[in-house]
Amino acid sequence: MPAVYCVRAMYGQYTNQFLEGQYAAIGWLNGQDLSQVHDREEIKLRFRQANPAIISNLVIGQQVGQIARFLFDIKPGDYIITPAADTNILHYGQVQTNPYFLGPDDSCPFTQRKRVSWSPNTLRRGVLSIPMQNTMGSSLTVFQISNDSEFFEAIQRPDLASPAVIQQHHDHTEQVLKRLLELDATEFELLIMHLLTAIGFEAQHTGKPHDGGVDVRGQLNVANLARIELIVQVKRYQLNAHISARDIKALRSSIPSGTQGAFITTAKFQPKALDMAIEPGFPRIGTVDGHQLVDLLTEHWATLPQDFKERLQLKVGLILA
């Protein structure tokens, strides 16, 4: 089974060059042809010679590890994901060749390359599971994606995924969502308030008739470095329901200047709704569908109130009691 890796293009700065040139590339040790290097020790030696000011073994090990991963671990047939400048858009393609070296004539300064057949399709980062989104947030330039079954399912290649893993995940998520649907509207809104509190927000429940679609408000102060004001609409819909662009537009009209929005639901989002949620020139609206909600509850279950755990009859890991 092919492996899946992420190779960043300098925060998306060179993504278009990757796509147009049909390659992925790294920029360490530029000017040196590494295509004939066969072991990490030689990479480490070259790295130390090129960067004498770097003496930390930790830093050297991390950089050499990423170079070796690109040169040795990523093989023809594997898949590469690279984020666009708009990090919500993920491009992907299949590796065609072993590494090769290109001189500095190209508009992309990264000279260690692999030929990649990029798909004309893209993935939305926002529709991936929360663990997968967290993985894509890694600070590394080159790293392996462990949840490859989700990736293959997302690109409609279930033949490359593990059917048992996918089915088990879907079955578990559906069982948990059915438990959530047993809550009444107010209970569900309160659960989301507690979830936001567990994430780190100072949250309060505001849901009431004629509330303009605002059910929960939250404020997140990140170590006095940044502050986020958030208003949240919560919808406890049946599992086959879909949130429309009209629903997103209605919430957007309730978002004050300088505030962000979020739409959290047990259902799914139509593609046009997801587009509208991040439309330029308007307040950003975060979207959390039913599967992602289960991911968040799983991650923060230990810090949620005991009465909700008993009400839902779920144990740590959201195992049915």
Q: What is the CATH number of domain 4-161?
A: 3.10.590
pTM assigned to the model:
0.87
Alpha carbon distance 309, 321 (integer Å): 10
**Bridge partners of residue 229, in order along the sequence:** 219
Q: Which two tokens stand for residue 68?
A: 């070796």
**What pLDDT sits at residue 320?**
60
**What pLDDT sits at residue 158?**
85
**What pLDDT sits at residue 123?**
95
Centroid of chain to Cα 89: 10
- Give the residues of the chain that fall short of pLDDT 70: 103-106, 209-212, 317-321
**What pLDDT sits at residue 101?**
84
Measured CA angle at 318 (ends 315, 321), to 5 deg: 45
The set of residues, in sequence order, having a beta carbon less than 8 Å from that of 34 and lying 6+ positions away, is 43, 46, 67, 71, 99, 101, 112
Q: CA 267 → CA 79, 193, 238, distances in Å?
A: 30, 18, 6
Query: What count of other Cβ atoms lies within 10 Å of the Cβ of residue 138?
Result: 12
**What pLDDT sits at residue 182?**
94
pLDDT, tens digit (0-9, with 9 covering 90-100), for 278-293: 998 999 999 999 999 9
The answer as to CATH 3.50.50.100 being correct for domain 178-320 is no
The full set of domain ranges for the chain reads 4-161, 178-320
DSSP per position, 111-144: -EEEEEEEEEEEEEGGGS-HHHHHHHT-S-SEEE
Closest CA to 91 of 161, 200, 36, 17: 17
Closest CA to 100 of 114, 116, 117: 114
